Amino acid sequence: MKKTDLLVIGGSAAGVTASLTARKYNKDASITVVRREKEVLVPCGIPYMYGTLPEPTKNIIPDNLLLSKNIEIVVDEVKSLNRDEKTVTLSKGEKIGYEKLILATGSIPAVPPIKGVDLKNVFTVRKELSYLLELMDALKKAKNVVVIGGGFIGVEFADEFTKRGLNVTIVELLPCCLQLAYDEEFCKIAEDKLVERGVKLKTNNRVEEIIGDGKVEKVRLSSGETLEADLVLIGVGVRPNVELAKNAGLKIGELGGIWVDEYMRTSDENIFAVGDCAEKYSFFTKKPSALRLASITAREARIAGVNVFGLKRKNIGVIGCFSTIIGDLALGVAGLTERAAKEAGFSFVVGRAKAPDKHPAAMPECKEMQIKLLFEKDSKILIGGQVAGGKTVGEVTNILSSLIEKKTTAEEVATFQYGTHPALTCSPISYQIAEAAEDALTKL
């Protein structure tokens, strides 16, 4: 029987990052990654295989990233985990023993109970190259595409599909697309851009039935409207893949993920869990959180990758920091929206600022950037921020997340030290983060 010091189950972002982190701090340990997929996709790059990237193979994580660090890769499926023996059994019966184990089994696409969901040309978003190539082939013969779900997955796929000249409609149950991530005014900015790019929006609506004779032909909505459809993409989120952990008797959390402590340990001290399969906890309330993002995955993996050989790092909970782009419009959010802050019981003040993202505004590719910040009323601590503008939005959002994590006050945000350059940032006179904090201070 093969034995390894550290066994990692799962070879996507969580497994790769955990393995590489463990290797940085443990040069001599034997590390083995077991994964089902022959090729591992960059998860967040999947929508961009259909409009932006020149070919699907450009969205693959190279094996040499692990092999060059003396990390062994086994392409197989783990069928069972024996915690008493500290072994796993692969699909062909082979066993691997471990000293420490990291579960990075990811998530499974959520599929709503819709009649006709099993028809041909109805797709979910799987992290499997062969399956996604089937979607690519089906798109080449399609004209009318219906995307179920107006969250990040649905919006990004819809925007990419427009680049192929397809007639695209998003059906969203909530009043706005991206409503779980942004406040209404930012959702409206996103929706206006989607419509400008040719996407039709059916919000406050749900798919009642997918109709077709073996293959999708139409989609019937709760409003009574029927849409022509050659292809349907379901993008309504994911659920944690916890079957292996559950069968091994590990504790499962309130929201269905593998329970973990602040060190990313499961209920078995020799087993850690990271990424989409692990339960998340809010930075703000410490309650279970449904957030599942690649950036959260990588952070958890860096914590567990160090802790497997000695507890050093703690997980303080998820802030929620993410961004997206629709055409030339980028949107970002860090921390709490107004709706989420109210639900969590916070009393807050809002600060706003709007200015060109370069200076002077005549600089090439200059875009207007607007920022909205939320400060807790009593402590004046930053608890949330939303941004809309050009491509610099992504890194501005990351700055906001860092300020939130450090519990920065409005005064500190207004006077924090930043650098500016005409081609890279807005003017130092009107730097939006500082200006939004100043706006909030006038109301506090």
Residue 298, pLDDT score: 97
Q: Are residues 88 and 139 in the same domain?
A: no
Q: Are residues 99 and 124 in the same domain?
A: no
Q: Which tokens belong to 437?
A: 């904090």
Distance of alpha carbon 249 from alpha carbon 262, whole angstroms: 20
Q: Which tokens belong to 304?
A: 């567990």
Q: Are residues 428 and 341 in the same domain?
A: yes
Distance of alpha carbon 87 from alpha carbon 7, whole angstroms: 10
Q: Are residues 181 and 220 in the same domain?
A: yes
6-37: pLDDT as tens digits: 999 999 999 999 999 999 999 999 999 999 99
- Helices 432-441 and 393-405: crossing angle in degrees, nearest 10, is 50
Residue 199, pLDDT score: 98
Q: Where are the beta strands (DSSP E) in 105-260?
A: 107-109, 122-123, 144-148, 167-171, 200-202, 207-212, 216-221, 226-228, 231-234, 238-240
Q: What integer is the mean pLDDT of 306-328?
A: 96
Q: Is residue 82 part of a domain?
A: yes
Q: Are residues 231 and 253 in the same domain?
A: no
Task: Name the strand (E) or helix (H) holding 130.
Answer: helix 129-140
Residue 220, pLDDT score: 98
Domain enclosing residue 200, as ranges: 111-236
Distance of alpha carbon 338 from alpha carbon 354, whole angstroms: 19
Cβ atoms 174, 191 nearer than 8 A: no
Q: Is residue 188 part of a domain?
A: yes
Handedness of CA 34, 35, 38, 44 (dihedral sign): negative
Give the long-range contacts of residues 362-368, CB within 8 A, separation 24 or more.
363/422, 363/423, 364/423, 365/390, 366/390, 367/328
Q: Are residues 232 and 243 in the same domain?
A: no
Q: Is residue 333 part of a domain?
A: yes
Of the residues 44, 176, 277, 321, only one is catalytic, namely 44
Q: Is residue 73 part of a domain?
A: yes
Q: Is residue 228 part of a domain?
A: yes
Q: Are residues 115 and 232 in the same domain?
A: yes
Task: Name the strand (E) or helix (H) holding 309.
Answer: none
Q: Is residue 130 part of a domain?
A: yes
Asked which of 178, 213, 236 is the last residue of a domain, the reply is: 236
Q: How is residue 401 annotated by DSSP?
A: H
Q: Are residues 19 and 103 in the same domain?
A: yes
Q: Are residues 338 and 434 in the same domain?
A: yes
Q: Is residue 312 part of a domain?
A: no
Asked which of 207, 236, 265 is the last residue of a domain, the reply is: 236
Q: Are residues 225 and 115 in the same domain?
A: yes
Question: Strand, coil or helix: what is 7?
Answer: strand
Q: Name the pLDDT band for 178 (thresholds 50, 70, 90).
A: very high
Cβ atoms 109, 124 nearer than 8 A: yes
Domain holding 128: CATH number? Answer: 3.50.50.60
Look at the chain and report how many structural domains it folds into. Answer: 3
25 exposed, middle or buried (CB, 10 Å; 0-12, 13-18, 19+)?
middle
Q: Are residues 276 and 352 in the same domain?
A: no
Q: Is residue 320 part of a domain?
A: no
Res. 193: pLDDT tops 90: yes
Distance of alpha carbon 133 from alpha carbon 51, whole angstroms: 13
Mean pLDDT of the chain: 97
Domain holding 388: CATH number? Answer: 3.30.390.30
Q: Name the pLDDT band for 57 (thresholds 50, 70, 90).
A: confident
321 annotated active-site: no
The values of phi and psi at residue 168, to 5°, are -115, 135
Res. 56: pLDDT tops 90: no
Q: Are residues 102 and 243 in the same domain?
A: yes
